[in-house]
Structure 1
Amino acid sequence: MHVEPVLLFVLAAVAVVAVVRWVAGRTGLPAAALLPIIGIGYAFLPGPNIPLDPDIVLAFVLPPLLYSAALDSSMLAIRRNLATVVSLSVVLVLLTALLIGLGFAWFVTGATLAAGIAVGAAVAPPDPVAALAVGRKVGLPPRIITLIQGEGLLNDATALTILSVAVAAATGDGFSAPSALGQFLGAAVGGVAVGALVAFAVRVLSRPLSGDPMLANAVSLATPFGAYLLGEAIHVSGVLAVVVAGLIVGHHTPRSASGAGRLQTNAVWRLVDFMLEGFVFLLIGQQLPEVIRGLAGYDTTTVVVAVAITVGVTLLLRPLWLVLTLLAPGALHRRGRRGSTGGRAPVRWTGREVVVLSWAGTRGVISLAAIFTLPLVTEAGTPFPARDLLLFCTVVVVLVTLVGQGLTFAPMVRVLGLRADDNDQALLRNEARAASVEAALTALDELEEQEHDDISGQVIETMREQLRARLSRYRDRLSLLRDNDAAGPPISPQYEAALHVRRVAIDAQREECLRWRDAGRLSDEGLRVLERELDLEERLLPDRPARR
């Protein structure tokens, strides 16, 4: 095997992903929408092309991406919005698959109900990568981010389960509603159980390994694959097992992991997300020419009707369902807002929020990976009904939503003026900071009362003075935030000046350490130790001081 061409291709792909991320960071355009366009352009050029292998995507790409997203999600927030999340990730996916299936059975020549449900299941689950990237950058409210995250975590398991039932019906004896429902419930319940079991095992392992960040990272990287393989081995939803494991582990990580382990784990998963997402979105665009070549046996009318049904149901059903569930009377549409007493008052969703959630339904790699798993022939030896047509419809839906909605999502959010209240977010963070310092002061008082022989009163008093100074800064900041009537947090010249002074001091220390190393007075190993200390200190500084 000649490895040079493969290595050259991988390096070129890495370069493209890096350049697109750089462009996206400066233009505000989502990389998830730009990369497929580049992939399409490359696919029509002479040279090697990489086909999408669904088994590799489902086993090696999807588990780490889902697990990383679950680690960053809030289990408590998803639980508070569970009714809406289930409505979008289960009920809406089921309706989308069923309506597309009926449309294919009635209007597409050569397609069956099971085949239509298969393509409906493939295009039903939104891929939230593009929407979340844009949403965080433009400052969408946390409640909308939570719903997009929760839906994206759970809908893949629903769609893949429906797809497996539809494929079994298309290649076997036909569709049975009771059997399909039983298989779906069994896969879902089993997936949740497996995910909880894996999360428990990880929590048990994390205690003795918390002191070694390398071992903790190894366990973290292996967890999504272990959950997926265990789920698939016992014929339940491996995808749901990964999601549940990630949510539980992420919820308990603040207690079970060390600070060094969390810093390293977060850095590792950010890199994994960056590389996998980049390669995946490049692959999406490269599949178009091969899929188009498979349409040679279909007349234009059949192709147009099939695409219209698939794209139409995908784009229109989501906003209709959101209007019915979020704006209709009842508990499902209500969300909580923190009141002055700490309780939660029911507040109706607004039309602007429904529009944003509707436009966040971009499809991605899971749709392509799912549809490419369709077998070439049935158990009877006949070709799978309209397989090439189903592939083309799925690719069109992915490109229309990923490129069309992805590129227009940020401008639409800005036009609607839907942003999180930065002042409220900064106020909440500083209240938590002040509360944490007060808890530390209480702990010092208790420690002083215990009269430890190896801890002098001077040591405790020094730490107490540092904490009191920090608490004073937080209370001053809280006073500014509570008296602020502007759209964003107030800008404090003293705070900005203090940040500038700290950065200048850190830079000077780093330069002096480098001079010691270059002069031969400090070893490279010693330099790395001191650099790590300064890096951690610098990491505590905010990226955008005005929002702190």
Structure 2
Amino acid sequence: MDVESILIFVLVTVAVVGMVRWAADRTGLPAAALLPVVGVGYALLPGPNITLDPDIILTFVLPPLLYSAALDSSMLAIRRHLRTVANLSVVLVLLTSLLIGLGFAWFVAGATLAAGIAVGAAVAPPDPVAALAVGRRVGLPPRIVTLIQGEGLLNDATALTILSVAVAAATGDGFSAPSALGQFLIMATGGAAVGVLVAFAVRLLSRPLSGDPMLANAVSLATPFAAYLLAERAHVSGVLAVVVAGLIVGHHRPRSASSAGRLQTSAVWRLVDFLLEGFVFLLIGQQLPEVLRGLAGYDTGTVVVAVTVTVGVVLLLRPLWLLLTLLLPGVLRSRWGAAGVEPARLTGREIVILSWAGTRGVISLAAIFTLPLVTETGARFPARDLMLFCTFVVVLVTLVGQGLTFAPMVRVLGLHADENDQARLRNEARSASIRAALDALDDLEGQEHDDIEGHVIDTMREQLQARLRRYRDRLVLLRSADSEGPPISPRYEAALHVRRVALDAQRNEMLRWRDAGQLSDEGLRVLERELDHEERLLPDRPARR
């Protein structure tokens, strides 16, 4: 493709992603499930398609997506549920890979155990984007969100490590369980160590750069690539290095980054997520011609058996494994609960939701496309084209089928977070922060500061006390409300309306000054940014604040 064709493709892709996102917001359906359908439709039209390049996906797309997800995750929450997360992201991935490998070795002609484990590793890790997008919209409980996030962060590292070991066995001298386990442990441990090292380096840079949001933002964008490349050069898990670095940096960001840096970095990563996720999910559907092209050498019976084995294990093993862990209470409990309290066992409804959250995505396709065409002996990789098709079917079945039905499933089960409790907790934290600020003012007033006049502290104290009274009034309403949702306060909504009317009037007057030539555009941008920050503090949905 020439430069003009690439530019046209990029513009069309952004337009399609934007339209699908708009349709998803209006319909409540996840964009991650709609985009592959649009991609399949585009692939069936005459004209060129973009073939997935696994090296580009694994090197340029996966690290920033994983790092952004890790920044937004809670290291403490994942640690609290670490045993459950490890059960899903390590044990379940291993079992899925092994069972699919055995199924291919037993029932698919020409497939070896190592090759079967390779395709099993490719389809084993769920991509939680679709499930989390729906889950946050319908209000899934924080614990379920944490488990889905934690699994999605760590399972890619497990799967890609198993895949590399299986491919080495399939193209070399064969599969050795002790050797494979040793290699897996080395790659996982080494990847985690590299992640810690990179996070430590980023923390050292954070404070000197905190005064310059642009430099801090540049470091943030470079961090996932640095972690991934450093780990890959050391022949350990680059994916795990990115995840560990993101979790540590995200945990310490409130202390190490400036307010301007946090606002700017958060906005940039939201844009990166939007564009990359839209592109990769659209790319999934465009792989249909490439996948179908290699099926000519297989009879229908072999294709049906291979697809049945792969899809059957993916869909059935997850709920069965979760059910088994429900019957064995110790497996799903963590020894690292807060204050020594172990999290409660998963309920039956939570098991169903977690089972339905196992959507696969572009990582599965990128992983399977890394399979070599030939082995070291010069022979074709066993059943490679068939494995591509099986992976594509699994991605479409789970991403589209489970992705589109996830929200109705959550609503039918009635599993949602207690909004009153969350709103109460936020307002209690706000009240506590105001009391800490008032205490700090008292300490400051008791000290000798020639440059601070008494009325300055008094004015600030009055403002803080007014906010504290507002939070306390809100808490009274929240504590007396039922469980159907936070109460609607007419006074609170009226106050928000008045503030918005005042902000709009200020903004319009500034624009009138600019249009009349009394205020420069540069001055307008400065003043407008002040109003934008003030307006950003107003809640979109007052009833939930």
The TM tier, using the shorter chain, reads over 0.9
Q: Is the 8 A contact 1:327 1:350 kept in 2?
A: no
Which residue of 1 is the match for residue 543 of structure 2? 546
Paired AA for residue 293 in structure 1: R
Q: How does 1:526-545 map to 2 (within 5 A)?
A: 526-545=523-542
Paired AA for residue 268 in structure 2: V
Paired AA for residue 459 in structure 2: T
C-alpha distance in 1, partners of 2:533/2:294?
54
Quickly say closer, same or farther: Cα 1:165–1:486, change in 2 above 3 A. Answer: closer
C-alpha distance in 2, partners of 1:148/1:372?
25
Q: Is the 8 A contact 2:199 2:249 kept in 1?
A: yes
Q: Is the 8 A contact 1:318 1:358 kept in 2?
A: yes
SS at match of 2:497: helix
SS at match of 2:344: strand
Q: How does 1:87-102 map to 2 (within 5 A)?
A: 87-102=87-102
C-alpha distance in 2, partners of 1:478/1:335?
33
Q: How does 1:36-115 map to 2 (within 5 A)?
A: 36-115=36-115
1:348 partnered with 2:345 = yes
Paired AA for residue 391 in structure 1: L
Which residue of 2 is the match for residue 423 of structure 1? 420
Quickly say closer, same or farther: Cα 1:319–1:331, change in 2 above 3 A. Answer: closer
SS at match of 2:370: coil
SS at match of 2:42: helix
C-alpha distance in 1, partners of 2:337/2:541?
26
Which residue of 2 is the match for residue 159 of structure 1? 159
Which residue of 2 is the match for residue 515 of structure 1? 512
SS at match of 1:49: coil
How far apart are 1:13 and its partner, in Å?
Answer: 0.8
Q: How does 1:447-486 map to 2 (within 5 A)?
A: 447-486=444-483
C-alpha distance in 1, partners of 2:203/2:345?
38
How far apart are 1:481 and its partner, in Å?
Answer: 0.9
How far apart are 1:343 and its partner, in Å?
Answer: 8.3
Which residue of 2 is the match for residue 246 of structure 1? 246
Paired AA for residue 412 in structure 1: M
Which residue of 2 is the match for residue 406 of structure 1? 403
Q: Is the 8 A contact 1:372 1:391 kept in 2?
A: yes
C-alpha distance in 2, partners of 1:73/1:109?
43
Which residue of 2 is the match for residue 359 of structure 1? 356
SS at match of 1:153: helix
How far apart are 1:11 and its partner, in Å?
Answer: 0.7
Paired AA for residue 110 in structure 2: G
SS at match of 1:121: helix
Which residue of 2 is the match for residue 497 of structure 1? 494
Paired AA for residue 536 in structure 1: H
Quickly say closer, same or farther: Cα 1:345–1:183, change in 2 above 3 A. Answer: closer
> Which of residues 436, 439, 442 is equivalent to 2:439?
442
C-alpha distance in 2, partners of 1:479/1:114?
62
How far apart are 1:334 and its partner, in Å?
Answer: 6.9
Quickly say closer, same or farther: Cα 1:176–1:331, change in 2 above 3 A. Answer: closer
What does the per-residue CA deviation read over 1:126-163, in whole Å, with 9 as the maximum and x for residues that have no partner?
00000000000000000000000000000000000000
Q: Is the 8 A contact 1:326 1:333 kept in 2?
A: no
C-alpha distance in 2, partners of 1:279/1:99?
32
How far apart are 1:202 and its partner, in Å?
Answer: 0.4
SS at match of 1:348: coil
C-alpha distance in 1, partners of 2:504/2:351?
47
Paired AA for residue 420 in structure 2: N
C-alpha distance in 2, partners of 1:501/1:307?
60
How far apart are 1:347 and its partner, in Å?
Answer: 2.9
Q: Is the 8 A contact 1:334 1:348 kept in 2?
A: no
1:433 partnered with 2:430 = yes
C-alpha distance in 2, partners of 1:355/1:335?
24
How far apart are 1:480 and its partner, in Å?
Answer: 1.1
How far apart are 1:348 and its partner, in Å?
Answer: 3.0
Root mean square deviation, CA, Å? 1.4
Which residue of 2 is the match for residue 257 of structure 1? 257
Quickly say closer, same or farther: Cα 1:343–1:233, change in 2 above 3 A. Answer: closer
Q: Is the 8 A contact 1:227 1:238 kept in 2?
A: yes
C-alpha distance in 2, partners of 1:13/1:467?
48
Q: Is the 8 A contact 1:109 1:302 kept in 2?
A: yes
Of 530-539 and 322-331, deviating more is 322-331
Quickly say closer, same or farther: Cα 1:17–1:6, change in 2 above 3 A. Answer: same
Of 324-333 and 45-54, deviating more is 324-333
What does the per-residue CA deviation read over 1:420-458, in whole Å, with 9 as the maximum and x for residues that have no partner?
000000000000000000000111111111121111111
How far apart are 1:7 and its partner, in Å?
Answer: 1.2
Which residue of 2 is the match for residue 285 of structure 1? 285
SS at match of 1:541: coil
Of 7-16 and 346-355, deviating more is 346-355
How far apart are 1:326 and its partner, in Å?
Answer: 3.1
Quickly say closer, same or farther: Cα 1:59–1:74, change in 2 above 3 A. Answer: same
C-alpha distance in 2, partners of 1:451/1:415?
63
SS at match of 2:461: helix
C-alpha distance in 2, partners of 1:6/1:440?
54
Quickly say closer, same or farther: Cα 1:535–1:343, change in 2 above 3 A. Answer: farther
Q: Is the 8 A contact 2:89 2:155 kept in 1?
A: yes
In structure 1, the gaps of 5 or more residues are none
How far apart are 1:218 and its partner, in Å?
Answer: 0.2
C-alpha distance in 2, partners of 1:531/1:196?
40
What does the per-residue CA deviation read over 1:480-523, in whole Å, with 9 as the maximum and x for residues that have no partner?
11111241111110000000000111111001000000000000
Q: Is the 8 A contact 1:134 1:409 kept in 2?
A: yes
Q: How does 1:168-187 map to 2 (within 5 A)?
A: 168-187=168-187
C-alpha distance in 1, partners of 2:337/2:500?
37
Give the alignment's TM-score, normalised by structure 1: 0.98
Quickly say closer, same or farther: Cα 1:37–1:384, change in 2 above 3 A. Answer: same
C-alpha distance in 1, partners of 2:205/2:527?
31
What does the per-residue CA deviation read over 1:4-30, in whole Å, with 9 as the maximum and x for residues that have no partner?
222111111110000000000010000
Q: Is the 8 A contact 1:334 1:347 kept in 2?
A: no
C-alpha distance in 2, partners of 1:317/1:526?
61
C-alpha distance in 1, partners of 2:141/2:462?
37
How far apart are 1:344 and its partner, in Å?
Answer: 4.6
Paired AA for residue 31 in structure 1: A
Paired AA for residue 529 in structure 2: R
What does the per-residue CA deviation read over 1:188-240, in whole Å, with 9 as the maximum and x for residues that have no partner?
11011100000000000010100111000000000000000000000000000
SS at match of 2:329: coil
Q: Is the 8 A contact 1:81 1:147 kept in 2?
A: yes
Q: Is the 8 A contact 1:334 1:349 kept in 2?
A: no
C-alpha distance in 2, partners of 1:62/1:326?
32
SS at match of 1:381: coil
Paired AA for residue 205 in structure 1: L
How far apart are 1:330 and its partner, in Å?
Answer: 2.0
C-alpha distance in 2, partners of 1:344/1:453?
50
